[in-house]
């Protein structure tokens, strides 16, 4: 009981710092996953643009890899409260509208899993799967990421 009271009495900032340091470095960890996703999307975008021929093995592997990355995104460990401070473009909205953020993340994971399972065998079905996944990147970034310059 005594512990509970002193914890509750601790300043909010201390709690925020505490929850950040509980994980190794959630900012770096989530950015590493995001970067990997960016690389993966970048590897298949030339096919969407018609700059490279359709390659079923390549796009299926990429979609499966994206899904693996999506599965790694655990909001509780990678986006703990207070981790909008530091070298990050995560918007405070992630925590102000946490239900909205979690809904966006859940939708992304669902779409990434569906796209990976679809295993597109031609360009047309690949385009559908690609758009299904990448619309999530843009939507979440627009709502929950800030541009810092």
Among 15, 16, 41, 123, contact with ligand HEC (rule: CB under 6 A): 41
The answer to whether residue 34 forms part of the interface with ligand HEC (CB under 6 A) is yes
Residues near 35 by beta carbon (within 8 Å), at least 6 away in sequence: none
Closest distance to ligand HEC from the beta carbon of 3 (Å): 31
Cβ 78 vs Cβ 24: under 8 Å: no
In angstroms, the CA 87 to CA 79 distance is 14
CB environment 34-57: b (16+ within 10 A), e (fewer):
beebeebbeebeebbeeeeebeee
What character string, x for contact with ligand HEC (CB under 6 A) and - otherwise, covers 82-121? Answer: ------xxx-------------xx--x-------------
Closest distance to ligand HEC from the beta carbon of 4 (Å): 31
Question: Interacting stretch for ligand HEC, rule CB under 6 A, among 5-13, 25-33, 44-52, 119-127?
Answer: 25-33
């Amino acid at each position: 009981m005594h512990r509970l009271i002193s914890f509750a009495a601790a300043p909010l900032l201390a709690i925020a710092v505490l929850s950040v340091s509980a994980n190794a470095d959630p900012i770096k960890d989530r950015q590493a996953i995001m970067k990997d996703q960016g690389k993966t999307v970048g590897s298949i975008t030339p096919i969407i643009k018609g700059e490279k021929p359709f390659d079923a093995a390549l796009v299926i592997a990429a979609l499966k890899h994206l899904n693996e990355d999506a599965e790694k995104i655990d909001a509780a460990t990678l986006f703990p409260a207070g981790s909008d401070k530091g070298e990050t473009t995560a918007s405070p909205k992630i925590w102000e509208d946490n239900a909205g953020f979690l809904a966006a993340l859940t939708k992304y994971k669902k779409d990434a899993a569906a796209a990976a399972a679809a295993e597109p065998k031609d360009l047309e079905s690949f385009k559908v799967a690609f758009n299904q996944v990448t619309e999530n990147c843009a939507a979440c970034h627009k709502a929950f990421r800030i541009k810092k310059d």
